[in-house]
């Protein structure tokens, strides 16, 4: 049975369901599943320069693995609506942040290119929204206009 996760926008009770790409990104999905043994909530920030994308940085309590051990697998720099990606930026590689950046990205619309001032970068594609993308996407688009919302990510059993 395919593992699934749930993404819930707490302010509106809108929920999306995503299936993990266990065969295409086995190490990444294993790490993400382990990270979600305890659900987490994060402020969704809009990736305005890259397109229709939100980012959800997991809190320290959910950082249950060494991100440097996750290889590049099932990568893309040109995701499509519904894709859920993972990227780890080592310490000082993004705006000089000393702790590095754990980045879970949810793509909610078309025409996204993953880029930063240094150029285009690839991320591990580890899941895809298969349920309620349209309604979830509308709420994500609202983040760009009205500011952050809190999203809860959890394993979906059964």
3-state secondary structure of 66: coil
Beta bridge partners of residue 5, listed in sequence order = 18, 155
Per CATH, is 4-146+149-153 categorized as 2.40.100.20? yes
pLDDT of res. 111:
79
What is this structure's pTM? 0.93
Local confidence pLDDT in tens for the 158 residues of the chain: 799 999 999 999 999 999 999 999 999 999 999 999 999 999 998 886 778 999 999 999 999 999 999 999 999 999 999 999 999 988 887 777 787 889 999 999 987 778 776 678 899 999 999 999 999 999 999 998 899 999 999 999 75
Query: Which residue's structure tokens are 């009770």?
Result: 13
pLDDT of res. 158:
56
Note whether 73 and 117 are within 8 A (CB): no
pLDDT of res. 127:
98
pLDDT of res. 91:
86
pLDDT of res. 96:
74
Give 133's contacts (C-beta < 8 A, 6+ positions apart).
Answer: 16, 81, 82, 108
Burial tier of 13 (Cβ tally within 10 Å: 0-12, 13-18, 19+): exposed
pLDDT of res. 152:
97
- 23: enclosing H helix or E strand: none
pLDDT of res. 118:
67
Note whether 142 and 83 are within 8 A (CB): no
């Amino acid at each position: 049975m395919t593992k699934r996760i749930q993404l819930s926008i707490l302010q509106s009770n809108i929920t999306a369901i995503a299936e993990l790409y266990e065969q295409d990104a086995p190490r990444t999905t294993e790490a993400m599943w382990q990270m979600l043994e305890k659900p987490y909530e994060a402020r969704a920030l809009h990736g305005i320069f890259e397109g229709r994308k939100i980012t959800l940085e997991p809190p320290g309590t959910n950082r249950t693995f060494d991100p440097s051990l996750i290889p590049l697998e099932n990568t893309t720099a040109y995701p499509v609506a519904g894709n859920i990606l993972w990227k780890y930026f080592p310490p000082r590689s993004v705006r000089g942040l000393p702790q590095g950046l754990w980045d879970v990205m949810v793509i909610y619309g078309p025409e996204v290119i993953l880029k930063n001032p240094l150029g285009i970068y690839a991320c591990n594609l580890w899941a895809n929204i298969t349920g309620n993308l349209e309604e979830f996407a509308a709420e994500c688009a609202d983040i760009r206009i009205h500011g952050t919302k809190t999203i809860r990510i959890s394993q979906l059993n059964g």
